[in-house]
Amino acid sequence: MSELINVEELFGVNVFSMAKMRERLPKNVYKEVKKVATYGGELSMDTANVVAKAMKDWAIEKGATHFTHWFQPLTGITAEKHDAFVSHPDEDGRMLTEFSGKELIKGEPDASSFPSGGLRATFEARGYTAWDITSPAFLKESSCGKILCIPTAFCSYTGEALDKKTPLLRSMEVLSEQALRIVRLFGNTDATKVTASVGAEQEYFLVDKDLFMQRDDLMYAGRTLFGALPPKGQEMDDHYFGVIRERVGAFMKDLNEELWKLGVTAKTQHNEVAPAQHELAPIYETANIAVDHNQLVMETMKRVAIQHSLRCLLHEKPYAGVNGSGKHDNWSITTDDGVNLLDPGDTPNKNIQFLLVLSCILKAVDTHAALLRQSAADVGNDQRLGADEAPPAIISVFLGEQLDDVVRQLVETGDALHVKKGGKLKTGVKSLPDFEKDATDRNRTSPFAFTGNKFEFRMVGSADSVASPNTVLNTIVAEAFCEAADKLEKAKDFEIAVHDLIKENFSAHERIIFNGDGYSEEWVKEAERRGLPNIKSTIEAAEALTTKQTVDLFAKFHVFNKTELESRQEIIYENYAKTINIEALTMIQMASKKIIPAVIKYSRHLAETINAMTTAGVEPKVEKALLKDINSNLEKMQKALEKLQRDEQKAATVEGAKKRAFFYKDTITKDMAALRTPADELEMLVDKNTWPIPTYGELMFEV
Ligand code: ADP
Ligand code: MG
């Protein structure tokens, strides 16, 4: 048996938390830190020096040798540049460790190679990192040793955000300000802050390392680009919540321990729908910390997988034909005196504040559906959204029976007089208790579902940062709150005005509510009839970033300026083209160096067999038919390969990031599909021992 684990002792051992600061800092210093962390502002340099010293001492006691400003550039993952805690040796040649307040608060990585969408080219190449005091510093353990990581925001010399965190922090402040105006209207004078909370459920696949290494596509693209479906996929539903296999269990155990040490509240784990697919969900926390922690979750998954001779696939669609991976972004907003604004209570029809908040959220989501869709878009997610297992690319809101009924009453009569109750769930077994049922059932097909006291945004891709979706959510809801507060603060009769506004919001934006099967063909048609956008690809979605509506929204609340939005859009186009280019080149390599040679070898074997049989006087009927079939697919493959190669050359000459991205989407991805089809046919025709790469069956079932 393995050693006992004490979760309480393990939790947060590698985090320089507020509790550790309270222990290690002089009282007045701690107080200043706490104040700035809660209400914003700047630390004085004296305080920063004291904090830096305490942080360094703690880190060195724990065996750290380096520190880094840990930030989230627009690559979607995190970046770090390690600096040792060393200074010039003194006269006796002794090394004194050093880490100043200035080094804690501000960094200047030479970050000119990060994507900036042209932002810095026109100004200065400099980028600065600034400590996000609200997210605790932590120690990362890896083969590099122990590194003190200081979560930071990353901005250009002129103050433009070069990362995913800065706008998120801006959006959280904006949401807080506007939500406070709402709760004040309802007589809450105690709350001083409203916080967005996020719980990001992370889906992932595991694959054996040796098999992974034999697949160029998994190595370079993170997903399979060839592969026929195995005889068994997910149709038996036997993997979902199934018993966790030993090897996977050992991985999960180590993963949890590593995450707990980092203060990540890894909570639930289970097998997902597809074979070799799993999920980890942490307990929700303040949005920016949840975003940081989700990055740590993804990074730790990859690292621990390697230790178990596995590889963790975070791609949204590693395998065609089975479920892809997403990241459900659970989101709610809570006042610092403990009121979750999304909690309907037992009688939502009488909870006016809740109804106003809900109506504002519906308005926000309907008004900015295209932008919200964009916030969940990435190249990998294009393989998933709109495919039959994932939420469609159409944004709609699921409210559940109870709230739907309340909204309907409000829209139809102006009053919601009654509320549907869940009632008792009768088990029919004497020894089992009867349960109070929830008033709403779940709807797993909705991209934006109300689930009890939070919304669950299910479009987000598994590999993507959750920063953008939450930045958008916070800002669009802040806008709706702002518009409501503008009206209501001026109202002569608040009761009547709020009643009218709720009805107006629900009536105007009812079209965004959909409680049916989001995966059905009928919904696609119905959504079109309702005028809801259905945006299929990342690069089409990117247009939403620079529409007048979006630019005005973000400018009003100072979350993004126009230049920042344009640069992000540019990066999306560039990134799209680069990603598809890598995939195309990988396919070309696999087809020409592995698959086609293997097929030729097998064809030759067949041809020799046919000749030998004919000489022996036996009619090689089956062999001939097989050879013919193989040969016709091989011809198709060769033709498709040549076309892809030609178009790849063309792609390189297309001028302009946007045009190039669309060329990749409209031409290259079609060429890739044309190459894949005959190759997958051939996989079914050619002898297993000759097939040069591990099959889907091996990849998914041999973990
Ligand atoms: P399910 O898979 O059934 O949706 P999980 O337990 O896997 O449920 O994940 C639910 C996620 O939602 C968890 O991360 C949980 O902490 C988070 N969550 C629960 N309540 C809230 C809330 N009020 N605000 C934000 N997130 C929440
Ligand atoms: Mg879950």
Q: 626-676, pLDDT tens digit by residue?
A: 999 999 999 999 999 999 999 999 999 999 999 999 999 999 999 999 999
Q: According to the model, what pLDDT value does residue 629 have?
A: 97
Indicate the range of 9-13, 177-181, 431-435, 568-572 predicted with least confidence: 431-435
Degrees, nearest 5: CA angle 541-198-505:
65
Indicate the range of 266-270, 324-328, 427-431, 671-675 predicted with least confidence: 427-431
Yes or no: say if 465 and 291 are a contact pair by the CB < 8 Å rule: yes
Block residue for tokens 């062999």? 623
Q: According to the model, what pLDDT value does residue 431 have?
A: 75
Strand partners, 328: 201
41: pLDDT strictly greater than 70: yes
Q: According to the model, what pLDDT value does residue 672 have?
A: 98
Indicate the range of 32-41, 49-58, 75-84, 285-294 predicted with least confidence: 75-84
Radius of gyration of the CA atoms of the chain, in A: 28
Residue 245 burial by Cβ neighbours in a 10 Å radius (0-12, 13-18, 19+): middle
Rounded average pLDDT over 684-688: 95
Ramachandran sector of residue 326 (left: φ over 0; alpha: ψ -120 to 50; beta: rest): beta
Block residue for tokens 């980028």? 127
pLDDT tens-digit map of 463-514: 999 999 999 999 999 999 999 999 999 999 999 999 999 999 999 999 999 9
Nearest 5°: phi and psi at 439?
-75, -20
Rounded average pLDDT over 178-196: 97
450 lines ligand 1 (CB under 6 A): no
Instruction: Report the nearest atom of ligand 1 relative to the CA of 281.
Output: 14
Alpha helices (runs of H) in 510-595, residue ranges in sequence order: 521-530, 538-541, 548-556, 562-590
Yes or no: say if 169 and 241 are a contact pair by the CB < 8 Å rule: no
Strand partners, 201: 328
Average pLDDT in the chain: 93
Residue 490 burial by Cβ neighbours in a 10 Å radius (0-12, 13-18, 19+): exposed
Residue 542 burial by Cβ neighbours in a 10 Å radius (0-12, 13-18, 19+): buried
Yes or no: say if 580 and 665 are a contact pair by the CB < 8 Å rule: yes
124: pLDDT strictly greater than 60: no
Cβ-based neighbours of 460, under 8 Å, separated by 6 or more: 200, 326, 327, 328, 329, 375, 376, 381, 466, 469
What SS3 class is residue 435?
A: strand
Give the closest ligand to the alpha carbon of residue 329.
Answer: 1
CA distance 311 to 64: 27
* Residue 169 confidence class, pLDDT cut points 50, 70, 90: very high
341: pLDDT strictly greater than 70: yes
442 CA to centre of own chain: 22
The DSSP annotation for 43-100 comes to --HHHHHHHHHHHHHHHHHTTEEEEEEEB-BTTSS-B---EESB----TTS---B---
Q: According to the model, what pLDDT value does residue 1 have?
A: 47
CA of 202 to the centre of ligand 1 (A): 11
- Whose CA is closest to 32, among 15, 56, 48, 53? 48
Give the closest ligand to the alpha carbon of residue 451.
Answer: 1
CA of 301 to the centre of ligand 1 (A): 20
pLDDT tens-digit map of 561-576: 999 999 999 999 999 9
Tokens of 201: 């459920």
Q: According to the model, what pLDDT value does residue 355 have?
A: 96
278 lines ligand 1 (CB under 6 A): no
Cβ-based neighbours of 335, under 8 Å, separated by 6 or more: 179, 180, 183, 188, 191, 193, 194, 195, 341
Provide the residue type at 357 as one letter: V
CA atoms within 13 A on the CB side of 66: 16
* Residue 338 confidence class, pLDDT cut points 50, 70, 90: very high
CA distance 111 to 373: 30
Task: Output DSSP code: residue 193.
Answer: -
Q: Which position has the higher pLDDT, 96 or 361?
A: 361
199 lines ligand 1 (CB under 6 A): yes
Q: What is the CB neighbour count within 10 angstroms for residue 420?
A: 16
Q: What is the CB neighbour count within 10 angstroms for residue 136?
A: 23
Q: Which residues have CB atoms below 5 A from the ion given as ligand 2? A: 201, 281
Tokens of 455: 């919304």
201 lines ligand 1 (CB under 6 A): yes
Block residue for tokens 């190679």? 113
Q: In Å, how far are 589, 595, 692 from 677, measured between CA atoms? A: 16, 13, 17
* Residue 558 confidence class, pLDDT cut points 50, 70, 90: very high
Q: At what angle do helices 562-590 and 669-685 cross, to 10 degrees?
A: 30
CA of 580 to the centre of ligand 1 (A): 34
Provide the residue type at 248 as one letter: V
Task: Output DSSP code: residue 228.
Answer: P
Mutate to test the pocket of ligand 1, among 284, 288, 448, 453 (most ligand atoms within 8 A of CB): 284
Its sign, for the CA torsion 241, 247, 251, 253, is positive
Rounded average pLDDT over 176-193: 97
CA distance 78 to 296: 9
CA of 202 to the centre of ligand 2 (A): 8
Q: According to the model, what pLDDT value does residue 702 have?
A: 84
Its sign, for the CA torsion 358, 359, 361, 366, is positive
Query: How much of the chain, in percent, has pLDDT values that exceed 70?
Result: 96
pLDDT tens-digit map of 202-228: 999 999 999 999 999 999 999 999 999
Block residue for tokens 């083209």? 577
Give the closest ligand to the alpha carbon of residue 458.
Answer: 1
Most confident by average pLDDT, 323-327, 404-408, 548-552: 548-552
For the chain, give the number of residues.
703
CA distance 36 to 42: 6
CA of 344 to the centre of ligand 1 (A): 16
pLDDT tens-digit map of 252-279: 999 999 999 999 999 999 988 888 999 9
Indicate the range of 86-90, 326-330, 532-536, 689-693 predicted with least confidence: 86-90
Provide the residue type at 201 as one letter: E
Provide the residue type at 143 as one letter: S
- Whose CA is closest to 417, among 345, 315, 334, 347? 347
Q: According to the model, what pLDDT value does residue 435 have?
A: 67
Q: What is the CB neighbour count within 10 angstroms for residue 684?
A: 11
Q: According to the model, what pLDDT value does residue 121 have?
A: 60
Instruction: Report the nearest atom of ligand 1 relative to the CA of 270.
Output: 7
CA of 200 to the centre of ligand 1 (A): 8
The beta strands (E) that lie in 190-318 are given as 194-208, 266-271, 277-282, 285-286, 310-313
Strand partners, 84: 66
76 lines ligand 1 (CB under 6 A): no
Q: According to the model, what pLDDT value does residue 423 have?
A: 65
Nearest 5°: phi and psi at 323?
-55, 145
pLDDT tens-digit map of 574-624: 999 999 999 999 999 999 999 999 999 999 999 999 999 999 999 999 999
Q: According to the model, what pLDDT value does residue 2 have?
A: 55
CA distance 660 to 298: 30
Task: Output DSSP code: residue 557.
Answer: T
CA distance 27 to 154: 30
Residue nearest atom 5 in ligand 1 by C-alpha distance: 281
Query: How much of the chain, in percent, has pLDDT values that exceed 90?
Result: 78
CA distance 680 to 684: 7
Q: According to the model, what pLDDT value does residue 680 have?
A: 97
Tokens of 555: 């400018």
Strand partners, 398: 449
What SS3 class is residue 561?
A: coil
426: pLDDT strictly greater than 90: no
